[in-house]
Amino acid sequence: MRGFRDRVEVAEVLRLLNQRLCALPVEEVGLHEAGGRVLGRDLVAGVDVPGFDRAAMDGHAVRGEDTFGASAYSPVELRVVGEARPGQAFLEVLKAGEAVRIMTGAPLPDGADAVVPAELSREREEMLEVFEPIAPWRHVGRRGEDIKLGQKVLQRGRVLRPQDVGVLAAIGQARVPVIRQPRTDLFVTGNELLPVGSAPCGYRIVDSNSVMLEALVKRDGGVPQLHPILSDDRHLIAQSLRESQAEVILISGGSSVGPEDHAPGVLAELGELAIHGVALRPASPTGIGFLGGRPVFLLPGNPVSCLAAYDFFAGPAIRALGGRSTDWPYRRLNARLAAKVASAVGRVDYVRVQVTAEGVVPLATSGASILSSTTRADAFLIVPAESEGYPEGTAVEVYLYDS
């Protein structure tokens, strides 16, 4: 057994990942699968929306100038010559002195340029009495007023929201170019681990990292692929790495320097172990490398260390490959410390905190294996490597776990 004599700075790790990773290729998916995906290229409208002038209210389509001078005491009379409904046009040209009964969304007849709302008129025996003048193009939705032919509708890199998918449907986009989601293999190692769903038994504990990592990968737009627990066996770990076809590989456990920590040596043998040991508390026994150009993250087995290492390194990599922002995916809050936070120059500290009426309070329990501390915490703050910590009363920025 040996310790880490040198630890790589967090900023250097992030620079390496930024240099080595870029977004995956674009693929096309159906509109029903596009929500939440990242748009792979700019989309330009090939049509006007709407594609015709249409009624914005129920009433009667008229020529606006025919209503000039109308009042409640001296209504203008127009002859009703037909009807237009949504999807069903009045096919003749409207002449002076005529009106067409029309419903919201129906195409405006040729010759008409306004709609008299139903409440400003009265129809009697095919004659329409108009009680107020209506200016031309009043109560009319003009062709292309929503989206114009040739207009850039959505920009590359946008995470498609439900309303974005609706807009794509409106312009007739049946297939959508999106950046491929990174498939992510999740391997958890440890002779002491029992499968998820088991009860703790004797000196064995239940694997919690796999389900946590699965949820994190989904959050970041990746496609997690869970595998059975691996024993601390060098040959099994090597075989799993050789067989992986995923764009990202996560190995939880066996990342340190003990006699059963095989993952770093296996990765160095099969590919490249670029970093082993990071100046980060918790999560210093983190390793990062590449296998056939694909990133491999060796995450500590202690749950909080695993979470911190994922959020600092693996999460940004998965988001980058999927075309998403590499920034922290948490809401931020500015508040003051209600108690001091101690750190040491030369390392980054990931500090779990509670946000109270008195301010931000660091949790007394800070062990890397105490996963429940992250559920009792409201947020975390990051103490940078150049700081020795913060005294009580310092204004800090915290990252809220709840989205």
In a domain, 2, yes or no: no
Which DSSP string do the residues of 247-315 spell out, in sequence order? SEEEEES--SSSTT--HHHHHHHHSEEEEE-BSEES-TT-EEEEETTEEEEEE-SSHHHHHHHIIIIIH
pLDDT over 50 (residue 220): yes
Residue 5 inside a domain? The answer is: no
Yes or no: say if 389 and 343 are a contact pair by the CB < 8 Å rule. yes
Cα–Cα separations (whole angstroms), residue 251 to 2, 159, 198: 21, 28, 21
Domain end residue (candidates: 179, 199, 225): 179
Number of domains in the chain: 4
CA 217/CA 189 separation, integer angstroms:
18
Mean pLDDT of the 298-317 span: 95
The CATH number that applies at residue 95 is: 2.170.190.11
- pLDDT tens-digit map of 337-372: 999 999 999 999 999 999 999 999 998 765 555 666
Q: Which of 118, 79, 86, 120 is nearest to 100 (CA)?
A: 79
CATH number for the domain including 264?
A: 3.40.980.10
- Checking if the pLDDT of 375 tops 70, the result is yes
Other CB atoms within a 10 A radius of the CB of residue 335 amount to 18
Could you list the residue range(s) of the whole structural domain that residue 228 is in? 10-25+181-321
Answer whether residue 30 is part of any domain. Answer: no
Q: Looking at the structure, do residues 63 and 119 belong to the same domain, yes or no?
A: yes
CB count within 10 Å of CB 339 equals 15
Sequence length of the chain is 403
Q: Report how far residue 274's alpha carbon sits from residue 313's, in angstroms, rounded to the nearest whole number.
A: 13
Q: Are strands 193-194 and 205-206 parallel, antiparallel or unpaired?
A: parallel
Confidence of residue 205 (pLDDT cuts 50, 70, 90): confident
pLDDT band for position 214 (cuts 50, 70, 90):
very high
Distance in angstroms (rounded) separating the CA atoms of residues 48 and 353: 52
314 and 191 in one domain? yes
Do the domain assignments include residue 1? Answer: no
Q: What is the CATH number of the domain that holds 156?
A: 3.90.105.10
Q: Which of 179, 202, 235 is the last residue of a domain?
A: 179
pTM, rounded to two decimals: 0.89
Same domain flag for 90 and 212: no
**Tokens at 104, concatenated:** 């919201």
CATH number for the domain harbouring residue 356: 2.40.340.10
